[in-house]
Copies of this chain bind each other. A is one copy, B any other.
C-alpha cells in the first residue's frame, strides 16, 4: 500500500509532514509513503530522521500552493505543486491515496478535477468529524456544496453512512437530516424532499434538530455546506468562548490559583476526546480515489493518523461500496 503525502502542506512544513510519514511507516510495516514537494527541501528534512529503508520516498514537486490562495486558480496555475503532483500520481495508479494538511479548497478542487467523480455521484463532498457526548459523529457536507438539491443531500447521506460504518467503525450508523423540526413535513422544500428520499435508507432516523447534535441523537448529520461549515467552525469555537466566560467568573470571585488550575484541567480533559489529532483528517467523498485533508496545524501524530485513515479507506475499498449503494 502506497500513500502520497503533501510534504509542504499545512502550517509547519516540511517538518510535520516528514515526521508524520516516519511515524506512519513505523506503525504500519505494510505501507510506503511518497512525499511530494520541492525535492531538495524535503530530502534535507528527511535526512534528520531514521526510518526503515526504502519505505519513504520523495517525488519532486517544486511548486507550493499557499494556505490562502484562491483554490481553482492555484490548481490551474501550479501544475508542479505538491498537491497536483500527488493527486496526479494517484490518478495514474502509482499510489493508493493522497493526503495533505494544505489548502482545503485547493485540495477539494484538485481532487474533483484530477480524480473525477465516482460513477453515479452528483457532487463530491467533504465530511467532517463532529463531537457529540457519545463520541464523534460525521457531518456531511462541511462546506464544499453551498447550493444543494435533494438528490445531492440524499447521496451525502449514503456516502456518510458507508464512511461512518466502515472507517469510523459505527456498526449501524444513525443517519439524520438537520432540520428545524422533527416532523417530516418540517423544513424547506429541499429538506422535505430530501427526507422522503432518505427514507430509502433503513438506518435513517429522520429529522435532527440543532439540540440533537451535541446530544448525539444521530451518527451522520446530513446538511448543506453552508449549515455544515457554520456549525463546524461554531463547534471549534466553543472551548475558547467557554474559557473566556469562566475567566471572567474566576476574576470576579478572585478564585485561588489552584482552583482555577483544577477547573481548567478538568475542562481540557472533558474536551480531550475531540482533539482533531486523533482523527488526523477528513475525507473528500464521491471522488474517484482516496483523498483526505487535515487541519493546517496538524502535528506529526495527526498526519500519521491521516495517513493510516487513508490506508483504511483504500483497504476497505470504500469507493466500490459507494458506487454499489448509489447504483
Residues of A that sit less than 8 Å from B by CB: 132-133, 143, 146-147, 178-180, 187-189, 191, 209-215, 225-227, 229-238, 240-242, 244-246, 248-250, 253, 255, 259, 262-263, 266-267, 269-271, 273
Give the distance in Å from the alpha carbon of A157 to the alpha carbon of B9 in the complex: 39
Interface residue SS majority, chain A: helix
25 pairs of residues in contact across A and B, judged by CB atoms under 8 Å: A133-B245, A143-B180, A146-B187, A146-B191, A179-B230, A180-B226, A180-B229, A180-B230, A188-B226, A191-B226, A209-B230, A209-B233, A210-B230, A210-B235, A210-B236, A210-B237, A211-B237, A215-B240, A227-B230, A238-B238, A242-B270, A245-B270, A245-B271, A248-B270, A263-B263
For A250, the closest partner residue in chain B by CB is B266
Contact residues in B for A234 (Cβ distance below 8 Å): 210-211, 213-214, 231, 234
- On whether the beta carbons of B241 and A214 are closer than 8 Å, the reply is yes
- On whether the beta carbons of B262 and A237 are closer than 8 Å, the reply is no
Give the distance in Å from the alpha carbon of A271 to the alpha carbon of B248 in the complex: 11
Contact residues in B for A133 (Cβ distance below 8 Å): 241, 244-245
